[in-house]
Chain A
């Protein structure tokens, strides 16, 4: 059977087609989900794509978090559904309190688009199983509000529990605390990161194909769960 991965479109979503393409290239089936529908159409996993939901004129992701589809996603994520938030999706996951911390304006105050090196710190989440801990990957980064912040105690906890999933290498691009690029919840099914793995799945259009393993990892995770 093919893993069905839902990709949500919010008003202002921009990278949903890219996420769908990445899912397809990884051998899974992309399923379009709409912000106004509560139904997840029986998908095995969900991606919250990048973009500027509702224009992000308020705090990024703050309005999207209250959309009907998010009610179901929050509930299902707590029950173990694999959920990946990329960029704006990461911001939504923080606003939903599925992940700790928040994303603030880049410390240099500019939008930045660049090919970003990352180190995989945790290869034991639903979305990183096909990596090895310590792998170095390069995927595009593009955002204006990507500075990851949390209080010191939370940061210590994240570190102690191995919940920092990715760290920036070769220079911190936005002032994120402890160079954190992505984190996971305690169960490892919800992952959020600012860089865009869905833009690094084809040699023709991306800097690398390093991002593809996100989308194969989730199939591995879903199958493993079925077997278990």
Chain B
């Protein structure tokens, strides 16, 4: 019987057997980390304590390699009245006015999604939704920035359909509209797909909840799914050490299995206990499971905590205490509740058929104490587990190849010789997997549920109505360009922020705050660490300039196979607010006769461009120049024009350049456009340059003077480049492509690859 194993490693036993060898290395701890644990405890750790420290001090939970760089997000944070809760909680909280607060966060679920695409992606959604829920908010939408290997690689055919079905299967069943995200293909993600997930939630200011356990005698309630053996990573080492004799399988699946129905009940049940003000502190169970939730709650609170592990409802009665502490079974939450509110809390859980169990209480001490069969197996200062893990100053160095890469100027690449060649390359680019329509993917996600979706993919940002009476709303976009970041990680991070910021403004919303998911290779490689350092420095600097603080996010390291790391890939999400969602600016060119204006300056910038990738398979040179003041001015113009009804459509210009934006806007509206190349530009640069700080807008003729006057007064270059007209995209003196042919090229690619 495992439960009566004589090998139970109690605190007392540990104190009396200092020489016992422990599998710290197998659990991923370094020798000095193990020594530090012994120093903290003044004895060797018990098996359960060792397991807790090992997961909480892992890179994933402790941010030990990234912490020293992430500090900049706080140190350089711009003064913002909007930030109600900053970095460090489950998610940041932003004031959007009228008493509403919005919380949002993007997170990675990269490694599990490669191993088991469906469940990996599904539980990625589940985890980020619980983070948002734990802040006190009703989750209202999700988004998914995704990156895969080459579109035509056989393994992409395995990973992508599974990831997409997993996101749909879980998100659709939760009743959360999926309103945007990204899909990018690049051979650098072969074997290391990036599956990031963003969730946004809404609450009233007074409903904000925090993850802390205070108030001696308050009860600790675990509720949601039963705890099983899924998602136990390195802890199987401990388990096998203890139980080999029983013939129990030592290896358990490390990827968790999701149950979206359970999560839906958990959401409704949690919102109801919030509404009745029954919760003093709350934490979701994600990575590191109960170890993380108990130590973080106790660490952030004023007292200690005592937990009785025997009370935890199990799916598998043979689980060891170490496994119960480490299990990453999904759909669980942990709440701290005052004693006289416990009955009502349990009653609401019962109404929703959610299992809820008192597993412990807040004590007046300063220790986290955990018991199993009446014996103490954990006795630790919680802060040392949750918040005082190791911090590394990893060495970093600009890689030797960076100069050669930047010197490989795309100016040397042959350009199309005439109009016919240009036409052929336009079709080639808009049909390439990265630039092609993503409808085959997004049609598998419910974008309508909850009835507040004002804009969803492929629009520049997703937009959700927050208040049905006042029409207050929020907009969110996520962007990242690993190719730019590879060429210059500092600029790449700023370009990711700039694009996301621009996308939010293009729909008429005012950017307020940032969340980021930083996807990188191994921090033990100085070149990767340099990319990381440059990225965080670039992003923090740009956030300060644009006045948009980072409110939280996630770091995913070790995205590499062998010595080959992915491109540095910061994915930046920007949240904006719009006072009246009926004033939103969509992307569709829908009204014939409206004038098209190009805002911003266009230069010959092809480093990292879609054109260089698709036509020449080239990556080199420098990414587009960053001008954050210009970005801010462009955003102000776009927001004012939306508010005052001066524009009917807007689309940001980014990868693929102007022709990509025109293609998308024309196909969306079902109307063609006649374009004229402005003075001083050649047709090729006009169509394919990826200069930042630009957008194209459709201006009704009656608004032309007012709009151009505004741009002139604010010194934003606005160039008339065409008119919405007919059923073809025509570039004067160069070529014409009928809408039907353009649609065929743009929309057939993904179904052809994956259907």
Contacts and interface: CB of A to CB of B under 8 A. Distances in A.
Contacts of B483: none
A57 B261 contact: yes
**Counting chain B CB atoms within 10 Å of each CB, which of A11, A140, A202 scores highest?**
A11
B172 A206 contact: no
Nearest to A114: B443
Contact of B261 (A55, A110, A112, A113): A55
B353 A110 contact: no
A206 to B, nearest CB: 7
B720 to A, nearest CB: 30
Interface centre among B352, B446, B581 (most CB of A within 10 A): B446
Contact of A51 (B175, B352, B353): B175
B172 A111 contact: yes
B451 interface: yes
Interface stretch (A12-20, A121-129, A149-157, A186-194): A12-20
B209 interface: no
A105 interface: no
Contact of B444 (A14, A21, A112): A112
A52 B171 CA distance: 11
Interface in A49-73: 50-52, 54-57
Contact of B165 (A15, A18, A110): A110
B75 to A, nearest CB: 41
B348 interface: no
B443 A54 contact: no
A228 B234 CA distance: 73
A85 B352 CA distance: 23
8 contacts: A11-B352, A21-B468, A52-B260, A55-B259, A57-B261, A110-B443, A196-B448, A205-B448
Interface of B: 165, 168-169, 172-175, 259-262, 264-265, 352-353, 442-454, 465, 468, 581-582, 755
Contacts of B175: 14-15, 51
A143 to B, nearest CB: 9
Interface residues of A, number: 30
The CB with the most chain A CB atoms within 10 A, among B168, B352, B449, B454, is that of B449
A198 B261 CA distance: 22
Given A52-B173, A57-B261, A114-B443, A15 B449 contact: yes
A140 B177 CA distance: 13
A4 interface: no
Contacts of A54: 261
Contacts of B453: 205
Given A15-B175, A110-B444, A21 B451 contact: yes
CB-based closest 3 A-B pairs: A55-B261, A14-B175, A18-B451
A204 interface: yes
A140 B448 contact: yes
Contact of B449 (A12, A14, A112): A14
A202 B468 CA distance: 11
A12 B261 contact: yes
B448 A111 contact: no
A177 interface: no
A204 B173 contact: no
Contacts of B449: 14-15, 18, 50, 142, 199
Given A17-B451, A55-B261, A204-B465, A11 B444 contact: no
Given A55-B173, A55-B259, A111-B444, A11 B353 contact: yes
B166 to A, nearest CB: 11
Contact of A12 (B264, B451, B468): B264
Given A11-B261, A57-B261, A111-B168, A18 B446 contact: no
B265 A11 contact: yes
Best-buried of A55, A56, A204 by chain B (most CB within 10 Å): A204
A56 B259 CA distance: 11
Interface string A183-216: 0000000000000101100101110000000000
